[in-house]
């Protein structure tokens, strides 16, 4: 039901994408981080009502990973950026 505005390809149906999880927290740098930090990164997620930053990959399009801001209460998408260039508002 979602339409995701891919920065490369334009507005596309969500069925062209795969969901990639929470994009709100940075991944610990490679080779660093304690077990607890990795545990929290891998297993512990907030479940916010409202804006949620999350990854989507345009698997049936340009293959780019996007950071999408989606309102979990309304499913409205307020922003979609290439993950490489993603910035916070």
**Residue whose CB is less far from Zn ion, 40 or 54:** 54
Q: Are 2 and 18 in contact (CB under 8 A)?
A: no
Distance CA 52, CA 73 (A): 10
Distance CA 64, CA 86 (A): 12
52 membership: H or E segment, kind and range = strand 51-57
Could you say whether residue 57 binds another protein (CB under 8 A)?
yes
Could you say whether residue 43 binds another protein (CB under 8 A)?
yes
Applying CB under 8 A, which of residues 16, 24, 65, 79 lies at the interface with another protein? 65
Could you say whether residue 55 binds another protein (CB under 8 A)?
yes
Q: Nearest approach, Cβ of 49 to another protein (angstroms)?
A: 12
């Amino acid at each position: 039901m979602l339409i995701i505005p891919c920065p490369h390809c334009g507005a596309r149906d969500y069925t062209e994408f795969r969901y990639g999880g929470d994009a709100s927290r940075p991944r610990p740098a490679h080779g660093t981080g304690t077990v607890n930090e990795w545990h929290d990164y891998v297993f512990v997620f907030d479940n916010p009502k409202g804006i949620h930053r999350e990854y989507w990959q345009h698997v049936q399009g340009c293959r780019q990973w996007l950071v999408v801001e989606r309102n979990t209460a309304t499913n409205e998408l307020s922003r979609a950026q290439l993950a490489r260039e993603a910035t916070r508002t």
